[in-house]
Amino acid sequence: MLRRFWAVHRNPTLVFPSRAGGAAGARSAQLPLDRAGVQRALHQVVQGIGLKKTSTPTAFATAMRPT
């Protein structure tokens, strides 16, 4: 998906260029996409590949010695 995203804009220096001028303007953009735009793009990638957010419970035990 990231390759397809880059193929649309083909900006030589930015992976996530500003989309202020549309797809054509993104090709010559000097500013990066705002943080929310990057998060949306990565969220679409994660959904597209079916990646699930999971975590395994971890137990931490702290032994305190009496003083």
Residue with tokens 């990565």: 42
Q: Is residue 60 part of a domain?
A: no
Residue with tokens 């001028």: 21
Note down the domain range covering 15: 2-49
Q: Is residue 16 part of a domain?
A: yes
For the entire predicted model, the pTM comes to 0.50
Residue 32, SS3? strand
What pLDDT is recorded for position 55? 63
Q: Is residue 6 part of a domain?
A: yes
Q: Is residue 63 part of a domain?
A: no
DSSP-derived secondary structure letter, 21: T
CA 1 to chain centroid, in Å, comes to 12
Q: Is residue 66 part of a domain?
A: no
45-67 pLDDT, tens digit per residue, is 888 888 887 766 665 655 555 55
What is the count of structural domains for the chain? 1
Q: Is residue 20 part of a domain?
A: yes
Whether the CB-CB separation of 8 and 27 falls below 8 Å is answered with: no
